[in-house]
């Protein structure tokens, strides 16, 4: 039996060693978001600003096509803000980024973490297990063993559910924004972890709920829409409060329907408004 | 717990070690506990159903030895009713209610039948049939009753074949639990090799083919012609790779523990007639129906009716639905026609031609088996040859089709080579094979989470 056990063990070791170059070969891809963190922390950046497509910019008739992060940079002399943004990013990947940043020789002074309420609802098929693995274990282990982990379902498959079709826009808004939200939501647990990591590493977390086109939502999905969004934002605030951290509720901060592109993407005036508010909070939290 | 789950890769080495490291008198107990853990990892409470059946069959078998005449028949009837009653309740109740409602509708009678949502206990058809075969064999005097309750429980619960077979006979498996199994290095290595090949078939070949067949069969009316045909070919090889993979892993894992399970497949797609196919496909079930249904009903003397009834029951065993009944009836008709043709004409096609013809007859059967509804099945069958149709399903997944095709080729080559592969290969080649096999399994991430097809039965 010992002989067989030794042979099986040798096979396992051999396979484990060969798996690394194979995994790296199969899944190697640029990771510009991590590069942005590295570059920022090697340079002058002291604030990392995470975000999904809500942080994108340059719509329609915007004259100033800069992102909120760029506007914030302008309003915060003496600070340097690095934007870490990718469409679909959510709290679990932000947690991995914050843990990654906390392990760097030079850590950021603050991180800005937006919560897109839609990312807590049923219609958010995005998750980033490979990115998380690379941030947590580095490329050798993260890339090398990602496939085996997903083959055995240790990590979620990046399987996109078929988006439901809606007969009208009101139903679509209801689907994306009106849902029961509990403090135990895995992404809200990720938020707690993230705040915990910040505390341990001396990083100041600035967490806010991103603005939603509440006016349009109420017009399309009924008068209860605003109240429902407020209830969801309140759950996020409660999660923050449970770890003694304030979560800024900006869900209804941009009241004008015309300041939005689509659902929650902001036009120039909306972006400027949010940048102003965030600048105020950053100054307050980072003042000596 | 499934064979391809990470838990099993911890579970099995632990069981293997504990089994052989323990004194022989504790080994069956270790296997019994391990089997219970294996089954309870899914739904713990459903093990009570199996224990209920074991208890019934244990006492019935002991009673059969002492009883005579009508009392024996009553005891057997009690066992049959208990086993089949549970199977009926969990598997067929909803279907039977549907059928009754349908007939009620025809007769303009409104039937108020409960519509319970019952979760089918995994592997119920397999372990019920295995338990039944024990009682029937004892009744026939072909096997002595097992006086050790736990040994009988282990016969039904033995984890390698508990969930999806092979459906073992008491005459083969029970005596093995009475003997002492010393660790045999060569047998264990051969078992692990077979299990690895099973994993490759499941994870690398079957699950890849599933990705090709599933979307088309999920919504067949969106497709026509070549796409339907290709999906049907893909499914034919998917189900073979999937089910034979389970059997290979079951046989391999049992072999490593020192047990011999029966062979469930014998190169079925090289069969030269539908009758030949059923000698090669799911052999443990085919022989079960032969020994416990077909022969008792009259066998060859019973004529076409008995064949049809046996295949209808076999179809129903697979699933409670019209498509499975149609599948069973279709195979019954094929077997009857094959026999009739054999009597009427002395002409025999060339082996390659009869093989090709048989395979394509089976393909038609798989349409009935796989389609979600009877109307889907009819649509697919009537549009299989309706021109080329859209090439989008191929263009969207070119690499998967290519790799799926390679997998099918590998499957056929291994089947074709058969025992020629069982020679002792040079160590370098053997190790290269193991390493490649492991790496293929580890890197075959598929977008669909596909369970073993036969788990649903």
Q: B304 vs chain A: nearest CA distance in angstroms? A: 47
Indicate which of A6, A13, A15 best probes the interface with B, i.e. most B CBs within 10 Å of its own CB.
A15
Residues of B in contact with A3 (CB under 8 A): 185
Task: Report yes or no: A155 and A55 within 8 Å, Cβ to Cβ.
Answer: no
Q: Tell me the domain boundaries of chain B.
A: 6-183, 186-456
Q: What is the mean pLDDT of residues A105-117?
A: 95
Q: Contact A26/B443, CB-based, under 8 Å?
A: yes
**Residue of chain A nearest B437, judged by CA positions:** A15
Q: Is residue A152 part of a domain?
A: no
In a 3-state reduction of DSSP, which class is residue B371? Answer: coil
Cα distance between residue A106 and residue A47, in whole Å: 12
Task: Report yes or no: A191 and A246 within 8 Å, Cβ to Cβ.
Answer: no
Q: Is the pLDDT of residue A157 over 60?
A: no
Q: Is the pLDDT of residue A166 over 80?
A: no
Phi then psi for residue A204, to 5 deg, are -90, 120
Nearest to A151 among B20, B443, B448 (CB): B443
Q: Contact B447/A157, CB-based, under 8 Å?
A: yes
Cβ contacts of A22 within 8 Å, gap of 6 or more:
A144, B439, B443
Q: Is the pLDDT of residue A129 over 70?
A: yes
Q: Contact A151/B442, CB-based, under 8 Å?
A: yes
CATH number at residue A249: 3.40.50.1110
Cα distance between residue A199 and residue B87, in whole Å: 58
Cα distance between residue B67 and residue B151, in whole Å: 23
CA B206 to chain centre: 15
Residues of B in contact with A23 (CB under 8 A): 443
Q: What is the mean pLDDT of residues A162-189?
A: 84
**Residue of chain A nearest B447, judged by CA positions:** A159
Q: Is the pLDDT of residue B446 over 70?
A: no
* Structure confidence by residue, pLDDT tens digits, A13-71: 999 999 999 999 988 889 999 999 999 999 888 999 999 988 877 777 777 888 899 99
Give the pLDDT band of residue B252 (cuts 50, 70, 90).
very high
Q: Is the pLDDT of residue B454 over 70?
A: no
Q: Contact B192/A157, CB-based, under 8 Å?
A: no
Cα distance between residue B36 and residue B163, in whole Å: 12
* Structure confidence by residue, pLDDT tens digits, B65-123: 888 888 999 999 999 999 999 888 888 887 888 788 877 777 777 777 777 777 778 78
Give me the pLDDT at residue B138, please: 94
Q: Contact A23/B443, CB-based, under 8 Å?
A: yes
Give the pLDDT band of residue A275 (cuts 50, 70, 90).
very high
Q: Is the pLDDT of residue A267 over 90?
A: no
Q: What is the mean pLDDT of residues A240-257?
A: 90
Cα distance between residue A114 and residue B424, in whole Å: 62
Q: Is the pLDDT of residue B177 over 80?
A: yes
Q: Is A240 exposed, middle or buried (0-12, 13-18, 19+ CB in 10 A)?
A: buried
Indicate which of B442, B444, B446, B450 best probes the interface with A, i.e. most A CBs within 10 Å of its own CB.
B442
Helices assigned H by DSSP within chain A: 2-27, 32-42, 68-75, 91-102, 129-144, 146-151, 169-177, 186-201, 214-221, 224-242, 268-286
Give the pLDDT band of residue A169 (cuts 50, 70, 90).
confident
Nearest to A18 among B13, B188, B439 (CB): B439
Cα distance between residue B254 and residue B165, in whole Å: 12
* Structure confidence by residue, pLDDT tens digits, B410-420: 999 988 887 77
Q: Is residue A78 part of a domain?
A: yes
Q: Is the pLDDT of residue B303 over 90?
A: no
The catalytic site residues of B sit at 318
Give me the pLDDT at residue A2, please: 84
Beta-bridged to residue A260, according to DSSP, are A266
Cα distance between residue A19 and residue A148, in whole Å: 9
Give me the pLDDT at residue B176, please: 93
- Provide the number of CB pairs (under 8 Å) joining chain A to chain B: 58
Cβ contacts of B175 within 8 Å, gap of 6 or more:
none
* Structure confidence by residue, pLDDT tens digits, B349-380: 888 899 999 999 999 999 999 999 999 999 99
**Using only C-alpha atoms, what is the Rg of chain A?**
21
Structural domain that includes position A250? 31-126+167-286
Most confident among A58-67, A156-165, B280-289 (mean pLDDT)? B280-289
User: Which of A11, A25, A149 lies closest to B437 in space, CA to CA?
Assistant: A11
Cα distance between residue A31 and residue A134, in whole Å: 9
Question: Lowest mean pLDDT: which of A149-163, A216-230, B429-443?
Answer: A149-163
Q: What is the mean pLDDT of residues B259-285?
A: 94
Give the pLDDT band of residue B282 (cuts 50, 70, 90).
very high
Using a CB–CB cut-off of 8 Å, the residues of B that contact A are: 4-6, 13, 17, 20, 183, 185, 188-189, 192, 203, 431, 434-435, 438-439, 441-449
Q: A3 vs chain B: nearest CA distance in angstroms? A: 8
Phi then psi for residue B47, to 5 deg, are -65, -25
**Helix axes of A91-102 and A32-42: crossing angle, nearest 10 degrees:** 40
Task: Report yes or no: B440 and B107 within 8 Å, Cβ to Cβ.
Answer: no
Give the pLDDT band of residue A163 (cuts 50, 70, 90).
low
Phi then psi for residue A222, to 5 deg, are 105, 160
Give me the pLDDT at residue A35, please: 95
Give me the pLDDT at residue B448, please: 55
How much of chain B, in percent, has pLDDT values that exceed 90?
A: 57
Residues of A in contact with B439 (CB under 8 A): 15, 18-19, 22
* Structure confidence by residue, pLDDT tens digits, A196-214: 999 999 999 999 999 998 8
The sign one gets for the Cα dihedral B324, B328, B330, B331 is: positive
Q: What integer best gives the mean pLDDT of chain B?
A: 89
Query: What is the phi-psi region of residue B123: left when phi exceeds 0, alpha when psi lies from -120 to 50, beta otherwise?
Result: left
DSSP state of B272: S
Give me the pLDDT at residue B455, please: 65
Cα distance between residue A165 and residue A172, in whole Å: 8
Please state the pTM of the whole predicted model. Answer: 0.81
Give me the pLDDT at residue A194, please: 97
Q: Is residue A21 part of a domain?
A: no
Cβ contacts of A91 within 8 Å, gap of 6 or more:
A113, A115, A119, A187, A188, A190, A191, A194
A161 contact B CB<8A: no
Count the domains in chain A: 1
Q: What is the mean pLDDT of residues B318-323?
A: 87
Q: Is the pLDDT of residue A146 over 80?
A: yes
Q: B199 vs chain A: nearest CA distance in angstroms? A: 12
Q: What is the mean pLDDT of residues B199-203?
A: 92
Q: B278 vs chain A: nearest CA distance in angstroms? A: 34
Residues of A in contact with B431 (CB under 8 A): 11, 14
How much of chain A, in percent, has pLDDT values that exceed 70?
A: 97
Cα distance between residue B191 and residue B220, in whole Å: 40
Give me the pLDDT at residue B173, please: 92
**Residue of chain A nearest B192, judged by CA positions:** A8
Tell me the C-alpha to C-alpha distance, in Å, between residue B293 and each of A274, B218, B330.
76, 34, 18
Q: B183 vs chain A: nearest CA distance in angstroms? A: 7
């Amino acid at each position: 039996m010992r002989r067989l056990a030794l042979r099986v063990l040798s096979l396992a070791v051999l396979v484990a060693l060969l798996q690394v170059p194979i995994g790296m070969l199969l899944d190697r891809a640029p990771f510009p978001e991590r590069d942005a963190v590295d570059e920022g922390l090697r340079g002058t950046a002291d604030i990392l600003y995470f975000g999904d497509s809500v942080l994108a910019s340059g719509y329609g008739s915007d004259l100033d096509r800069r992102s909120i992060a760029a506007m914030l940079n302008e309003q915060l002399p003496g600070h340097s803000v690095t934007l870490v943004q990718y469409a679909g990013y959510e709290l679990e990947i932000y947690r991995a980024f914050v843990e990654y940043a906390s392990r760097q020789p030079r850590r950021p002074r603050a991180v800005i973490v937006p919560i897109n309420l839609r990312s807590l609802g049923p219609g958010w098929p995005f998750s980033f297990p490979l990115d998380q693995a690379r941030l947590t274990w580095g490329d050798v282990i993260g890339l090398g063993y990602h496939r085996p982990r997903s083959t055995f379902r240790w990590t979620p498959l990046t399987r996109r559910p078929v988006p439901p079709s809606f007969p009208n826009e009101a139903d679509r808004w209801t689907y994306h924004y009106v849902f029961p939200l509990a403090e135990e939501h895995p992404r809200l647990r990720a938020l707690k972890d993230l705040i915990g990591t910040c505390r341990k590493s001396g990083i100041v977390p600035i967490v806010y709920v991103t603005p939603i086109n509440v006016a349009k939502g109420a017009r399309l999905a009924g008068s209860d829409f605003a109240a429902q969004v407020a209830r969801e934002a309140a759950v996020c605030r409660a999660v923050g409060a449970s770890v003694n951290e304030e979560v800024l509720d900006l869900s209804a901060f941009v009241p004008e329907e015309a300041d939005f592109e689509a659902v929650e993407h902001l036009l120039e005036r909306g972006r400027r408004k949010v940048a102003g508010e965030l600048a105020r909070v950053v100054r307050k939290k980072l003042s000596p | 717990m499934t064979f391809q789950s990470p838990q099993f890769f911890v579970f099995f080495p632990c069981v293997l070690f504990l089994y052989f490291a323990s004194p022989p008198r504790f080994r069956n107990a270790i296997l019994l506990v391990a089997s219970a853990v294996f089954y309870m990892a899914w739904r713990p409470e459903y093990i009570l159903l199996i224990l209920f059946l074991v208890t019934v069959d244990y006492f019935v078998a002991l009673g059969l030895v002492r009883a005579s005449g009508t009392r024996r028949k009553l005891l057997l009837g009690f066992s049959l009713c208990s086993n089949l009653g549970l199977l009926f309740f969990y598997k067929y109740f909803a279907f039977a209610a549907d059928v009754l409602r349908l007939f009620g509708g025809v007769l303009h009678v409104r039937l108020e039948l409960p519509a319970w949502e019952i979760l089918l206990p995994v592997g119920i058809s397999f372990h019920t049939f295995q338990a039944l075969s024990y009682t029937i064999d004892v009744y026939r005097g072909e096997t002595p009753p097992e006086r050790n309750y736990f040994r009988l429980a282990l016969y039904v619960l033995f984890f390698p074949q508990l969930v999806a077979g092979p459906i073992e006979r008491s005459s083969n498996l029970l005596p093995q639990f009475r003997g002492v199994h010393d660790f045999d290095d060569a047998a264990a290595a051969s078992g692990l090799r077979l299990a690895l090949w099973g994993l490759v078939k499941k994870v690398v070949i079957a699950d890849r083919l599933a990705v090709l067949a599933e979307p088309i069969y999920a919504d067949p009316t969106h497709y026509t012609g070549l796409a339907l045909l290709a999906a049907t070919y893909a499914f034919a090889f998917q189900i073979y790779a999937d089910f034979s993979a389970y059997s290979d892993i079951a046989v391999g894992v049992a072999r490593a523990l020192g047990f011999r399970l029966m062979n469930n497949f014998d190169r079925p797609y090289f069969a030269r007639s539908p009758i030949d196919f059923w000698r090669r496909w799911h052999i443990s079930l085919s022989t079960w129906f032969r020994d416990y249904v077909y022969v008792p009903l009259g066998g060859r003397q019973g004529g076409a009716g008995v064949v049809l009834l046996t295949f209808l029951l076999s179809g129903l065993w697979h699933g409670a639905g019209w498509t499975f009944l149609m599948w069973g009836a279709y195979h019954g008709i094929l077997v009857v026609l094959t026999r009739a043709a054999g009597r009427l004409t002395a002409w025999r096609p060339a082996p390659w031609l009869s093989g090709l013809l048989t395979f394509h007859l089976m393909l038609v059967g798989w349409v009935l088996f796989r389609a979600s509804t009877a109307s889907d099945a009819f649509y697919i069958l009537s549009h299989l040859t309706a021109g080329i149709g859209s090439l989008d399903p191929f263009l969207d997944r070119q690499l998967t089709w290519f790799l799926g095709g390679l997998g099918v080729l590998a499957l056929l080559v291994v089947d074709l080579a058969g025992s020629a592969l069982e020679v002792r290969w040079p160590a370098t080649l053997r190790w290269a094979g193991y390493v490649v096999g492991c790496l293929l399994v580890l890197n075959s991430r598929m977008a669909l989470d596909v369970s073993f097809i036969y788990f649903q039965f």
